Chain A
Amino acid sequence: MSLLEVRNVKKVYTTRLGANQVQALSNVNFSVEDGEYVAIMGESGSGKTTLLNILAALDRPTAGEILLNGKNTVEIKNKELSAFRRTNLGFVFQDFNLLDTFSLKDNIFLPLVLSGEQYPQMMQKLEPIAKKLEITHLLEKYPYEVSGGQKQRAAVARALITQPQLILADEPTGALDSRSTDQLLDLFQSINEDGQTIVMVTHSTKAASRAKRVLFIKDGEVFHQIYKANMSDEEMYAKISAALTVLATGGEQGE
């Protein structure tokens, strides 16, 4: 059984008065195996943010189901939703989403505090992660005192600390310079090699080329996918570029 299964997911937005309907996702099907590293690509308006929000249980689909470890997240009650997301999912955002009023350490602890963990256990969990992400010396600093790359690493630490089944990353390199981007992608690869499943939404071909599999979304459907298998990063890059060109120019066959 796959770790994550997305079956026939459909999302229709209705304007407030119900006059207009916009179909963001028409019929999405795919699955993610345990330990996989999947990138989702698509143009603006293709529905990838909607898909990620639905995967993150921030939004509910109009139809279809999402199974995480066999549990349908669509059926989870509102009350339990936050706790479910906290324990099973880790998030990395484009704009880091760190709180200015907390030190990096406290930012990382946030989900644990919400889960009611004790301080010594929290410290125990933090130590190896901080070491791996090389932010141990920055823990007492505040977000406005560190660089973008360091902020994103702290955000990754916050996502990892709950030992989630799945990490969802939304344009994680979007706000970083090229050096920090490389570092972050190395980091993602390294944690994936440790067995962490990652689903990443991105615009960046470079970022996607590091993933084990790339899904292309167009007009609310999975349009195409590429497995990396034994390809090098460069070969993968070329293949993705070609796919994107097809997507942008000749991919009108569905209409």
Chain B
Amino acid sequence: MNSLFYAKMAVSNIRKNKKEFFPYIIMGIFSVMMYYMMVSLMNNDGIRKMPYSDNILALLPIGLWVARIFIVVFLFYINSFLMKQRLKEIGLYNILGMEKRHIAVMMFFENVFVFITVFVSGMILGMVFSKLMFLILMKMIAVSSVPKFQMEMTSVFMTGGYFLAIYFVTFLYNLCKIHLSNPVELLHGTEAGEKEPKTKILMTLIGLCCIGFGYYFALTTKSPMAAMNTFFIAVILVVIGTYALFTAGSIALLKLMRKNKHFYYRTGHFFSISGMIYRMKQNAAGLANICILSTMVLISISTTVSLYAGIQTTIAARSPKEIDVTANLSDYEDTAAVDEEIAKINEAHQVTVKDYTAVHSMGMITAYGGDGKYTLADGKGLVIADEKQGVYMEVISLDEYNTVCHTGETLKDGEVLLYTQNKELKGQTSIQMQIGTAVNDYQIASYLPEPEMDFGLQAYSGAVKCLLVVVPGKEDVQKWWQQALEAGNMQNLQYCVQYNTNLSKQESLKLTEDLYRIDIESAYVEAENSYEMAEQLYQIYGGLLFVGLFIGILFLMATALIIYYKQISEGYQDKKRFEIMQNVGMSLTEVKKTIRSQVLMVFFLPLVAAGIHIAVSFRIIQMMVRMLAMGETKLFGMCTLITLGIFCVIYGLVYAFTAKSYYNIVRVKA
């Protein structure tokens, strides 16, 4: 009979406190659903058997781990809010004669009911939606033959075990909390008097400096190579700066505003400034956390979205034609042998070759010394000492250039054609190329427009500056190559054959396999297929996008809920305040306005700060993205804006809901 009584009490407690329990339960259900879906994807046999599934199978566990940490932190956090709200109620039970062990039994039942509700509903939703999730993932990674979707008990047990552990630990935590408190304290729980926070000038200045330097680094980095180094420093500086400015800077700014009497004593400003000073004291660290986390989530989502959206461009740039055979020759004369092998294999596969191009080129990393003078980096490898000076140079002969680009350029001996985006060279009439001890001087005949074929320049353009040099004949190429060898630089002469075929995807992949097996003693041959490349890119970027979105949604949901709870608990604390203001003559319209501006600030301050961080980091991140893929600035910008937009809309909805609940709490009912 006794336990029935406690069970009944637990149910009525949950029902009475539904304003607090409801979001906690919703968050739980949502977490269970998301977690189950992720686990069921990982346990899916079909995915494991897919071709190239290594990529996606490596990404999913990372996503799962992040989700695990997120879920446990957020559920714990929300639980502590819930407990804070309920301390008074529990204190009352204590005073009315319930012992702490009775309360423990009651809370045990509460926890059991919450867990059952959360787990059952979460699993049902998870099972319903996991098939959808599975299909979305398959669509994202563009699999040609979708494997069968199946349910597995292992996933159910994994999810159940994980959440059982979380709820058990929260239960223990709550017990400790109650055990350590005394009833009178519990009864007064949330009403400790608050002192005005102090102004911390030094911390504000440190914060300003950190943000300033961080932004400066992000905005002035010249090249992607440098970006890799400075980005990390900039991130750390901005993180420190954000914490310092949210905690100290905000209060300093608000107090400064308060000092300006004419500004401060206005209806709108008066209440929000004084309220915010206290609000920031309690919430600054939390808001800074939210700001930094949302910045990271937004950046990772927009980056993965833009990588994903840029897949087609990347493929077009990396392998413009279906088949791409690259041979690293150690002698110009091996060309014939390579051609012969390719022709033999093509014949064996009954290939009709289309759009055939074949180009010899030599690519090298050089150092630019100004005045059109280039030096081949020394033979110890391709380390670029100073990235400002590093230039990737691609050398090809005139007749091959004319053939592949369908042009009719002419050159005299000792002249070159150049194509470059390197502004420093503009206006030069001659260039000099120093290889080892040999010095080659050329007159610049003219600058070329962007060539039809990119000669592999694009692949480097993200990282270093590039220069295409068209020399009069293949003798010049050979000469440079010889000089490089003599200088001890193992420079390869590349022979690149590209063509399209009439084959189906399957046949094309088989052909590529055979081409890859070409074995010539003096040449190392590689073959790439655009189909294969597309599949791999879709796997990697699609998988990244999927995991990014998954975590992003989880995060968004959790942040919004946390702010909701914070506001609601503050609403109860502020109830008296608003009552007084209404007694003194504040109208309900003004109450509404004050609440709206207060809640608005708490909600959107972190988001606005995140927006600024993202805007500043845009350039440096884009630089780094370009090293991975041919992301266009416009595309990346669009993706960032859309992501931010969606974030704002969902945030806005929760904001409206929160402001309404808050208003209902503080309104004096006449």
Hey, which chain A residues are within 8 Å of B21, CB to CB? none
The 3 closest A-B pairs by CB, nearest first: A86-B585, A82-B587, A97-B580
Fill in one digit per residue for B655-670: 1 if any A CB lies within 8 Å of its CB, else 0: 0000000000000001
A81 to chain B, nearest CB (A): 7
Q: B585 to A114, Cβ gap below 8 A?
A: yes
A100 beta carbon closer than 8 Å to chain B: yes
Hey, which chain B residues are within 8 Å of A85, CB to CB? 585
Which among B61-69, B122-130, B270-278, B359-367 touches the partner chain?
B270-278
17 residue pairs bridging A and B, Cβ less than 8 Å apart: A58-B670, A79-B587, A82-B582, A82-B586, A83-B585, A86-B585, A97-B580, A99-B577, A106-B270, A109-B265, A110-B581, A111-B584, A112-B265, A117-B265, A119-B261, A119-B262, A158-B584
B271 to chain A, nearest CB (A): 8
Q: B274 to A102, Cβ gap below 8 A?
A: yes
- Looking at A59, A81, A82, A119, the one whose CB has the most chain B CB atoms below 10 A away is A82
Hey, which chain A residues are within 8 Å of B275, CB to CB? 101
A99-B580 contact, Cβ under 8 Å, with A114-B585, A122-B265: yes
- Looking at B193, B265, B577, the one whose CB has the most chain A CB atoms below 10 A away is B265
Fill in one digit per residue for B550-592: 1 if any A CB lies within 8 Å of its CB, else 0: 0000000000000000000000000001001111111111100
Q: Give CA–CA (A100, B573) in the complex, Å.
A: 12
A113 beta carbon closer than 8 Å to chain B: yes
B266 beta carbon closer than 8 Å to chain A: yes
A142 beta carbon closer than 8 Å to chain B: yes
A93 to chain B, nearest CB (A): 7
A188 beta carbon closer than 8 Å to chain B: no
Hey, which chain B residues are within 8 Å of A58, CB to CB? 583, 670
Q: Give CA–CA (A27, B95) in the complex, Å.
A: 42
Q: Give CA–CA (A227, B580) in the complex, Å.
A: 33
B450 beta carbon closer than 8 Å to chain A: no
Count contacts on A: residues with CB < 8 A to the other chain.
33
Tell me the nearest residue of chain B to A93, going by C-beta.
B583
Q: A98 to B580, Cβ gap below 8 A?
A: yes
User: Quick one: which of B163-201 are within 8 Å of A by CB?
Assistant: 193-196
Hey, which chain A residues are within 8 Å of B584, CB to CB? 86, 91, 97, 110-111, 114, 158
Hey, which chain B residues are within 8 Å of A93, CB to CB? 583
Hey, which chain A residues are within 8 Å of B274, CB to CB? 99, 101-102, 106
Tell me the nearest residue of chain A to B269, going by C-beta.
A113
Hey, which chain B residues are within 8 Å of A114, CB to CB? 267, 584-586, 590
- Contacting residue for B266 out of A91, A111, A113, CB 8 A: A113
Tell me the nearest residue of chain B to A98, going by C-beta.
B580
Q: Give CA–CA (A79, B592) in the complex, Å.
A: 13
A254 beta carbon closer than 8 Å to chain B: no
A144 beta carbon closer than 8 Å to chain B: yes
A250 beta carbon closer than 8 Å to chain B: no
Q: B577 to A101, Cβ gap below 8 A?
A: yes
Hey, which chain B residues are within 8 Å of A158, CB to CB? 584
Q: A91 to B586, Cβ gap below 8 A?
A: no
B265 to chain A, nearest CB (A): 5
User: Quick one: which of A129-160 are within 8 Å of B by CB?
Assistant: 142, 144, 158
A116 beta carbon closer than 8 Å to chain B: yes
Q: Give CA–CA (A156, B583) in the complex, Å.
A: 14
Hey, which chain A residues are within 8 Å of B583, CB to CB? 58, 91, 93, 97
Given contacts A82-B585, A114-B267, A114-B585, 5 further A-B contacts (CB under 8 A): A58-B583, A58-B670, A79-B587, A119-B265, A144-B193
User: Quick one: which of A4-49 are within 8 Å of B by CB?
Assistant: none
Q: Contact size class for B?
A: 20 to 34
Hey, which chain B residues are within 8 Å of A119, CB to CB? 261-262, 265
Q: A111 to B585, Cβ gap below 8 A?
A: yes
A224 to chain B, nearest CB (A): 30
- Looking at A106, A122, A158, the one whose CB has the most chain B CB atoms below 10 A away is A106
B587 to chain A, nearest CB (A): 3
A147 to chain B, nearest CB (A): 15
User: Quick one: which of A107-129 are within 8 Å of B by CB?
Assistant: 109-114, 116-119, 122
Q: B589 to A79, Cβ gap below 8 A?
A: yes
Tell me the nearest residue of chain B to A86, going by C-beta.
B585
Q: B277 to A113, Cβ gap below 8 A?
A: no
Hey, which chain B residues are within 8 Å of A117, CB to CB? 265
Hey, which chain B residues are within 8 Å of A102, CB to CB? 274
Q: Give CA–CA (A118, B585) in the complex, Å.
A: 18
Q: Give CA–CA (A60, B193) in the complex, Å.
A: 34
Q: Give CA–CA (A102, B581) in the complex, Å.
A: 12
Q: Give CA–CA (A97, B196) in the complex, Å.
A: 18
Q: Give CA–CA (A119, B260) in the complex, Å.
A: 10
Q: Give CA–CA (A101, B590) in the complex, Å.
A: 18
Hey, which chain B residues are within 8 Å of A109, CB to CB? 265
Q: Give CA–CA (A201, B39) in the complex, Å.
A: 68
A59-B585 contact, Cβ under 8 Å, with A101-B278, A113-B266, A144-B193: no
Hey, which chain B residues are within 8 Å of A122, CB to CB? 265
Q: A81 to B587, Cβ gap below 8 A?
A: yes
A127 to chain B, nearest CB (A): 15
Tell me the nearest residue of chain A to B195, going by C-beta.
A144
Hey, which chain A residues are within 8 Å of B196, CB to CB? 101, 142
User: Quick one: which of A39-95 are within 8 Å of B by CB?
Assistant: 58-60, 78-79, 81-83, 85-86, 91, 93
Q: Give CA–CA (A113, B261) in the complex, Å.
A: 11
Q: A100 to B194, Cβ gap below 8 A?
A: yes
Hey, which chain A residues are within 8 Å of B589, CB to CB? 79
Q: Give CA–CA (A114, B271) in the complex, Å.
A: 10
- Contacting residue for B270 out of A79, A113, A144, CB 8 A: A113
User: Quick one: which of B26-78 are within 8 Å of A by CB?
Assistant: none
B635 to chain A, nearest CB (A): 48
Hey, which chain A residues are within 8 Å of B582, CB to CB? 82
Q: Give CA–CA (A106, B581) in the complex, Å.
A: 12
A120 to chain B, nearest CB (A): 9
Hey, which chain A residues are within 8 Å of B277, CB to CB? 101
User: Quick one: which of B69-116 are within 8 Å of A by CB?
Assistant: none
A187 to chain B, nearest CB (A): 19
Hey, which chain A residues are within 8 Å of B581, CB to CB? 99, 110
Hey, which chain B residues are within 8 Å of A79, CB to CB? 587, 589
Q: A100 to B270, Cβ gap below 8 A?
A: no
Hey, which chain A residues are within 8 Å of B266, CB to CB? 113, 116
Q: Give CA–CA (A86, B194) in the complex, Å.
A: 28
A164 to chain B, nearest CB (A): 10
A50 to chain B, nearest CB (A): 13
Q: Give CA–CA (A142, B274) in the complex, Å.
A: 12
Q: Give CA–CA (A102, B193) in the complex, Å.
A: 13
Hey, which chain A residues are within 8 Å of B580, CB to CB? 97-99
Q: Give CA–CA (A110, B275) in the complex, Å.
A: 14
Q: Give CA–CA (A79, B590) in the complex, Å.
A: 11
Q: Give CA–CA (A109, B270) in the complex, Å.
A: 10
Hey, which chain B residues are within 8 Å of A99, CB to CB? 274, 577, 580-581
Tell me the nearest residue of chain A to B589, going by C-beta.
A79
A111 to chain B, nearest CB (A): 5
A83-B587 contact, Cβ under 8 Å, with A58-B670, A114-B267: yes
Q: Give CA–CA (A83, B267) in the complex, Å.
A: 13
Hey, which chain A residues are within 8 Å of B588, CB to CB? 78, 82
A7 to chain B, nearest CB (A): 22
Q: Give CA–CA (A91, B577) in the complex, Å.
A: 16
Q: B194 to A113, Cβ gap below 8 A?
A: no
Q: Give CA–CA (A97, B586) in the complex, Å.
A: 13
A15 to chain B, nearest CB (A): 14
Q: Give CA–CA (A59, B586) in the complex, Å.
A: 15
User: Quick one: which of B244-283 are within 8 Å of A by CB?
Assistant: 261-262, 265-267, 270, 274-275, 277-278
Q: Give CA–CA (A102, B272) in the complex, Å.
A: 12
Hey, which chain B residues are within 8 Å of A91, CB to CB? 583-584
